[in-house]
Amino acid sequence: MAAAATGDPAVPDCRICGACCAYSREWPRLTLEDDEAIARIPPRLLDDAAGRMRCEGDRCLALAGEVGVATSCSIYEARPEVCRACEPGDDACTMARAHFGLG
């Protein structure tokens, strides 16, 4: 999940999407974060052994709401770098949205 709406109707709005946060448990990985950044994430949302956010199936536990309807990241300010890098409309975004039947 990247950001709020851009105002461009051609660019999907993360707040009514959330697809990339529920596409694969392998996506929300912690690779670039230092100890300080990881400490900002509640431990119950971390899967330390796997080195990523804790997931239920493929859905990140930090995701709130319903995919394709209304969603938000419950740790938005502390979310992993990989989540910040996913931009609305990029290849990963398009793949995740297609998986959930979102145009």
What does the binding site for ligand SF4 look like in residue numbers (CB under 6 A)? 1-2, 12, 14, 17-21, 28, 53, 60, 62-63, 73, 75, 79-80, 83, 86, 88, 93, 96-97
**102, two tokens:** 């979102």
If the CB atoms of residues 4 and 49 are measured against ligand SF4, the closer one turns out to be 4
Q: Look at the block and give the residue holding tokens 């990881």.
A: 38
Local structure of residue 3 (DSSP, 8 states)? -
H or E element in which residue 91 lies: helix 91-99
Closer residue to ligand SF4 in complex, CB, 20/47:
20
Q: How does DSSP classify residue 61?
A: T
Write down the least CB distance from residue 5 to ligand SF4, Å: 9
